[in-house]
Amino acid sequence: MIDAALLFGFGCFSLALLMNLFRLAKGPTLMDRVLALDTMVINVIALIVLYGVRQDTAVYFEAALLLAMVGFVSTVALCKFLLRGDVIE
């Protein structure tokens, strides 16, 4: 049963990634693209966690945590750059 649910989860998040890619390509504003990238990172975290459940190991947990941190910092840095013209003042 878990295998079927995992398949469904992989399908859902892959489709979600494709939708994000569409928004990333289409725009129309720069902030839309930033939002799309931010959501992509979150979806990839979900995919990594699902893959860890499928492989029955906890090895991929650190990758997910690192990705969460890098995704947040990059989003804030991009917004800060647009707001102030500089990342760290």
* Binding positions for other proteins, rule: CB under 8 A: 1-2, 4-6, 8-9, 11-13, 15-17, 19-20, 22-23, 29-32, 34-36, 38-39, 42-43, 45-46, 49-50, 52-53, 56, 58, 61, 64-65, 68-69, 72, 75-76, 78-80, 82-83
CB-neighbour burial class of residue 20 (10 A; exposed 0-12, middle 13-18, buried 19+): buried
Q: How far apart are the first and last CA of the chain?
A: 53
* Token couple for 8: 């469904």
- Shortest gap between Cβ of 15 and other proteins (angstroms)? 6
Residues near 38 by beta carbon (within 8 Å), at least 6 away in sequence: 71, 75
- State which residue, 58 or 89, has the beta carbon closest to other proteins: 58
CB of 75 vs other proteins, minimal distance in Å: 4
